[in-house]
Amino acid sequence: MDNLKEANFEKHLSNEKCPAKQILSTIGDKWSILILILLDTKGTIRFNELAKYLGDISSKVLSQTLKSLENDGLVNRTVYPEVPPRVEYNLTELSKTLLPHILSLSDWALENMDEIYRNRVNSGNYSE
């Protein structure tokens, strides 16, 4: 079994375009996972509504994050030719296949954050 784990690690380490690194570079920021979970919960939603639900995100960061998710095919952006323009976002079929994994990670984090915080405090490397 250790050889299998080592081979798997080597496969990722030797691949400069490692798929795990690539997707984590997109969804591993502060906002992407929250945006995907929000879109899963609310369905199709407008930019200003996203900003309202997320609270302290700047328009610039929200725009950049949505663009990154759109570029990877995880979010659809629909612009309606109205005055003023209406722009809506929703999940793609691809992101719907990613969501169970994100929700599983989110559940794991909720279950384990108290212990992680205790470990950080005990290590002396955590300040609020």
- Confirm whether 104 is domain-assigned: yes
pLDDT in tens, 107-128: 999 999 999 999 989 888 766 5
* pLDDT single digits (tens) 76-110: 999 999 898 889 999 999 999 999 999 999 899 99
Alpha-carbon span 34 to 31, nearest angstrom: 5
Q: Retrieve residue 48's tokens.
A: 């200003």
Please indicate, yes or no, if residue 23 is contained in any of the structural domains: no
Domain assignment present for 87: yes
Q: Quote the domain boundaries for residue 96.
A: 30-123
Averaged over 47-73, what is the pLDDT? Answer: 95
CATH number for the domain including 90? Answer: 1.10.10.10
The structure's pTM equals: 0.81
| Residue at 22 is within a domain | no
Total number of domains constituting the chain? 1
Q: Which residues pair with 9 in a beta bridge?
A: none
Q: Which helix (H) or strand (E) holds 77?
A: strand 75-80
CA 60 distance to own-chain centroid = 17
Cα–Cα distance between 20 and 17 in angstroms, integer?
9
Q: Is 3 domain-assigned?
A: no
Report how many helices (DSSP H) and strands (DSSP E) the chain contains, helices first: 6, 3
Task: Grade residue 6 by pLDDT with cuts at 50, 70 and 90.
Answer: confident
